[in-house]
Amino acid sequence: VSDHAVWTWEEAADRLAGPTADLEIGALSGRALLVVADAHRLPVGTAATLDELDVVAVGLAPDGDPAPGFDVVTDDEAVVEAVARTTGKCPTAAVTCCQVLRRGEGAPTGLGLLLESTAYGSLQAGDEFARWLDGRTPSEQPAWEVSPVVVSSTDSRTELTLNRPAAMNAYSATMRDALVEALRGLASDG
């Protein structure tokens, strides 16, 4: 594994059991990724410590051997490299994803949605998201061939119809603007 340390399961057991594990391991210490060899040998009680750390925990274990407590378990170095690249590029997002998945497991739907929304909103306010936005090219929006909102009226009724069937009437800025224009027109008509 190229640019990140791989701990033996014995080293991981020793360090995770230490009183300063949360200071040595985790995003704040500069170690957002922890890779443990023979992770299936790590005692279950020690592996449970991983749940409390702000780290992406990857366990190397033979295919089919369970390694509780790890976010990713694999025997494929290419998978470890892919996780390492992604975690290296966006450590806050990677660790946040793991935290949401850990805390959301078994949670009621409402709590899971709250957890995910809070995490997503926090990430949107961060540097990683800003860098990602800066690196994007603006997407090209197709020109509207027809109005996204159709207004039809009879003597006693006015009907607004969303008119983007090809996009299943997905809401967009253009549709919002057309709706506002139509509703303002109706409001001014009294």
Digit-coded pLDDT (tens) for 38-77: 999 999 999 999 999 999 999 999 987 889 999 999 999 9
Which of 43, 37, 77, 41 minimizes the C-alpha distance to 57? 37
pTM of the predicted model over 0.95: no
1 neighbors 80 (Cβ within 8 angstroms): yes
What is residue 5's predicted lDDT score, i.e. its pLDDT?
Answer: 85
**Domain ranges across the chain:** 6-135, 149-189
SS3 (DSSP) at 187: helix
Longest CA span, the chain? 81
- Between CA 45 and CA 181 the distance in angstroms is 61
pLDDT digits (tens, 9 = 90+) for 151-184: 998 888 899 999 988 888 888 888 899 999 999 9
30 neighbors 3 (Cβ within 8 angstroms): no
Q: Residue 159's beta-bridge partner residues?
A: 152
